Structure 1
Amino acid sequence: MHLPEGPARTLTWAILITAVGNGLYLAGVVLFLTRAVGLTGTSVGIGLSIAGLLGLGAGPAVGHLADRIGPRTIYLVTLTAEALATAALALVHDFGAFVVVATVVSIAEQGSRAVRGALIAQVGGRGRAHLRGYLRAVTNIGVAVGAAGAGLAIQHDTYTAYLALILADAVSFLLAALVIARIPPCPPVRGVDDGRGIRRGRLDIPYLGVTGVYGLLSLQYPVLAVVLPLWIVTHTTAPAWLVSPLLLTNTLLVVCLQIRAGHRVESIADGVTITRHAAVLLAGGCVLFCASAAGPPIVACLLLVVAVIVHTLGEIGQAAGEFELSFNLAPDHAQGRYQGIFGMGTGICVAAAPALLSVLCIDWGQPGWILLGGVLLGAGLAVGPAARWAQRTSAHLVDA
């Protein structure tokens, strides 16, 4: 992995810093809230779900501000907001306060995500989809490092140790803001106030169609983190310790292959093709997960390893196609708003996925895996028609 040059390199360092902080946060926040604050696991799950849903609408609104003022300036604001909101978790002592603070965290996070997409579009230029793929690999590295570091604090199992994880994440946002401040201000792209762009940002039905299709494909993201551990311990003869190396395999493959996959996507047509192939792989992974419920432990282990590899290759391909289409089917003068819309659409599906997939794959078992595979395959096949519809109705598009 070679660092990009100029502002893209600065952005890379900032995202790596926040990724390490997020790794600390993800590994420790639930334990902080349950073991240090005293909330129940169920209440934490409910609170995070409420906060996640309430925060989804922030993306388009904050993205619109980025289009009007400039993404670099607004990103500094959202990073600062994330730092303050995350630090405020230290003041939480009951469920009500937790929901309020978690909602503010979610709003700031969704806003940052939309603005970050707009900043990537400006900094990356024509190579913005490649840059986003590179940053996804960097993010995986950072999260893995942060999660590993969190293990040291978790071993102490004290209020101070868990609080340190939360505050370290807050500090990471401030450090990232200092790094982002080194990027020259990015002026708004001309055309942001032309009326047509505002109307299309709200009512671009073809773009919303593409967003919906990728939202369905995004149901696959919680499969490894949420469904796989439960599946292994409740439906297979494989040992529970296999979960950790399987998740590590996923991370390593994304780090090693995401950039290479992105370089294969040079146009919307390429994005459609790689997404279609990814859907086939994701459906195949579902079949393999389904098959792992039968047979002795060694067979179950082998099937699970192959399933995770196949699933991860599909995940990588989907991400590469998603980056290409989400950027290049959006007008340059409204990237912030469109990235916010895209993130909100996929975010809704990701938020609903844990509950939905738990019913499909854990409660229903093998038939649920087959149904999920069919949904993913159907969504992949629908990307082509959806993208062509968006191209036909988007006068701003320059087809690569």
Structure 2
Amino acid sequence: MNRTSRILMFATLVNTFGNGAYLTTSALLLTRSAGLSTAEVAAGMSIGAFAGMVLSTPMGYVVDRLGPKRVQVVALLALAACFVGLTRVGQLWSFAAIASVIAVGEATVKSANGALIAAAVPPGERVRARAYVRSTNNAGIALGALVGGIPLALDSRAGYLAVLLGNAVTFLVAAAVVARIRDVAAVPAPKDGPRLVALRDRPFMAFALVDGVSAALYNEMLSLALPLFLVAYTHASVALVSAALLVNTVGCVALQVWAARGAETAADAIPVARRGALVVAAACALLALTAHRPSWLVAALVLLAAVVHLLGELWLSTATAAVVFDLAPEWAQGQYQAAQQTGRQIGNLAAPPLLTALVVGLGAPGWLAVGAVFAAVAWAAPALVRRGLRRSAPVPALT
């Protein structure tokens, strides 16, 4: 692991620690402390998500043109200011404006992170470096979530303000850490051809959409769909959700780098993506078996499904990193990273209502329907990657 990767890991750990504490407390912070209604919080977050979808790819273009290090530092500073600004929020439109900047800023940081890895790490080592950063990301969020439980227990405005200001400090520290990275020269774009080339790359955008929906589904399976299903269709304790999430968190931290072995190119990612999607589909089948079963059997099936789900998630995330790095032109790494984030944002909007309708509305057949979605991903993702690899002269060459 080179110096840039180590610095990005430390910056990610600091930053996601603050984010983990904020995410744990955000719902009560915005309603009980800021005085917003639940409808206003939902509306503001939806507006922010829409801004992120529209502006992520253009900001990825800015990352490529101005250089990923410089843009990431500026984005981190802007995010620090946003979390300070949240201490003064009291109306929908002020919250929506800040939520929009936060959504765009976070997507910009992620695309700049990917572009920094692409610029500083040899192609054969990029996926492994990305795996280290993702592992650190999960560790930071988990630790932050533990600390976030303290202000939740206090349930006071002072505690919630401390979370916001503490998160702002972590962004400032992360910006200072990233500033230590050696400057990465901005790669000039071709003089001819479209600026937002990623949006014209149909195989890649289709892959980004499939990846975004599947990632949102596997991210929400344990935290959203499982507790609702346990309450509606079993007599088992919802404490099983905490156990399943613990398996997922520890596994993502410990095994992400292991899962990245042997996946260096988009061609390598084809069998990995297929395997990952089919394994998550198997986890859905296991969860379907828990309906109306004895509590001891439900517990055993849920924990087994959590382990199976973990393996599928690790392989799917590994395949995505390999595809994005390999299919992007070197002068548009930031833009392609951002376009992939756009797919994730679309998935984040679609997955919660889809999961709720299927799993809560249909019960066990709903889990099988979710599994069928992942079986379709096992076919679609490899086909789209092959299309991307078959492109002839997909973008203008540098002169």
TM (norm. structure 1) is: 0.94
The alpha carbon displacement at 1:81 in A equals 0.9
Residues 1:152 and 2:150 aligned together = yes
Tell me, what secondary structure is at the counterpart of 1:182?
A: coil
Q: Distance in 2 between matches of 1:133 and 1:15?
A: 12
Residues 1:48 and 2:45 aligned together = yes
Write the deviation string for residues 96-119 of structure 1: whole angstroms up to 9, x where unpaired.
322222122112112222222211
Match of 2:103 in 1: 106
The alpha carbon displacement at 1:396 in A equals 7.0
- 2:38 maps to a residue whose letter is G
Q: Distance in 1 between matches of 2:48 and 2:350?
A: 13
Structure 1: which 5+ residue stretches go unaligned? none
The alpha carbon displacement at 1:388 in A equals 1.2
Match of 2:279 in 1: 281
Write the deviation string for residues 270-302 of structure 1: whole angstroms up to 9, x where unpaired.
211111001111111111111111211111111
Q: Distance in 2 between matches of 1:36 and 1:354?
A: 26
Tell me, what secondary structure is at the counterpart of 1:295?
A: coil
CA contact (8 A) 1:134 1:259 kept: yes
CA contact (8 A) 1:283 1:373 kept: yes
User: Which of 239, 242, 261 in structure 2 is aligned with 1:241?
Assistant: 239
The alpha carbon displacement at 1:92 in A equals 0.8
Runs of 4+ off more than 4 Å: none
Q: Distance in 2 between matches of 1:84 and 1:125?
A: 35
Structure 2: which 5+ residue stretches go unaligned? none
> Do the aligned partners of residues 235 and 44 (structure 1) sit closer, same or farther apart at CA in structure 2, a change above 3 Å counting?
farther
Identity between Structure 1 and Structure 2 (%): 34
Match of 1:15 in 2: 12
- 1:343 maps to a residue whose letter is Q
Match of 1:123 in 2: 120
The alpha carbon displacement at 1:203 in A equals 0.9
CA contact (8 A) 1:331 1:396 kept: no
Q: Distance in 1 between matches of 2:98 and 2:372?
A: 38
- 2:80 maps to a residue whose letter is A
Match of 2:82 in 1: 85
CA contact (8 A) 2:64 2:333 kept: yes
The alpha carbon displacement at 1:20 in A equals 0.4
Query: Which runs of structure 2 are paired with 1:196-345 in the superposition (5 Å)?
Result: 196=193, 198=195, 200-218=197-215, 219-345=217-343
Q: Distance in 2 between matches of 1:128 and 1:354?
A: 31
Match of 1:60 in 2: 57
CA contact (8 A) 1:265 1:271 kept: yes
User: Which of 162, 165, 168 in structure 2 is aligned with 1:164?
Assistant: 162
CA contact (8 A) 2:131 2:257 kept: yes
Write the deviation string for residues 200-254 of structure 1: whole angstroms up to 9, x where unpaired.
3331112112222212322222111221222222222210222212111110111
> Do the aligned partners of residues 228 and 41 (structure 1) sit closer, same or farther apart at CA in structure 2, a change above 3 Å counting?
farther
Q: Distance in 1 between matches of 2:13 and 2:261?
A: 21
Tell me, what secondary structure is at the counterpart of 1:328?
A: helix
The alpha carbon displacement at 1:379 in A equals 1.2
Match of 2:36 in 1: 39
Q: Distance in 1 between matches of 2:141 and 2:110?
A: 16
Match of 2:192 in 1: 195
The alpha carbon displacement at 1:24 in A equals 0.9
Q: Distance in 1 between matches of 2:63 and 2:100?
A: 21
Write the deviation string for residues 120-147 of structure 1: whole angstroms up to 9, x where unpaired.
2112231111111111111111111111
CA contact (8 A) 2:243 2:303 kept: no
Q: Distance in 1 between matches of 2:263 and 2:242?
A: 31
CA contact (8 A) 2:240 2:302 kept: no
The alpha carbon displacement at 1:73 in A equals 0.5
Q: CA RMSD in A?
A: 1.7
User: Which of 349, 353, 357 in structure 2 is aligned with 1:351?
Assistant: 349
CA contact (8 A) 1:216 1:379 kept: no
CA contact (8 A) 1:197 1:334 kept: no
Q: Distance in 1 between matches of 2:302 and 2:196?
A: 47
Q: Distance in 1 between matches of 2:113 and 2:233?
A: 40
The alpha carbon displacement at 1:64 in A equals 0.5
- 1:129 maps to a residue whose letter is V
Query: Which runs of structure 2 are paired with 1:65-76 in the superposition (5 Å)?
Result: 65-76=62-73
Q: Distance in 2 between matches of 1:345 and 1:173?
A: 25
Q: Distance in 1 between matches of 2:258 and 2:193?
A: 37
Q: Distance in 2 between matches of 1:215 and 1:147?
A: 24
CA contact (8 A) 1:23 1:150 kept: yes
TM (norm. structure 2) is: 0.94
- 2:51 maps to a residue whose letter is L
Relative to structure 2, which stretch is displaced further, 387-396 or 221-230? 387-396
- 2:276 maps to a residue whose letter is A
> Do the aligned partners of residues 199 and 77 (structure 1) sit closer, same or farther apart at CA in structure 2, a change above 3 Å counting?
closer
Query: Which runs of structure 2 are paired with 1:359-374 in the superposition (5 Å)?
Result: 359-374=357-372
Q: Distance in 2 between matches of 1:202 and 1:189?
A: 19
CA contact (8 A) 1:58 1:111 kept: no
Q: Distance in 1 between matches of 2:105 and 2:265?
A: 32
Q: Distance in 2 between matches of 1:291 and 1:120?
A: 42
Q: Distance in 1 between matches of 2:50 and 2:183?
A: 32
> Do the aligned partners of residues 118 and 165 (structure 1) sit closer, same or farther apart at CA in structure 2, a change above 3 Å counting?
same
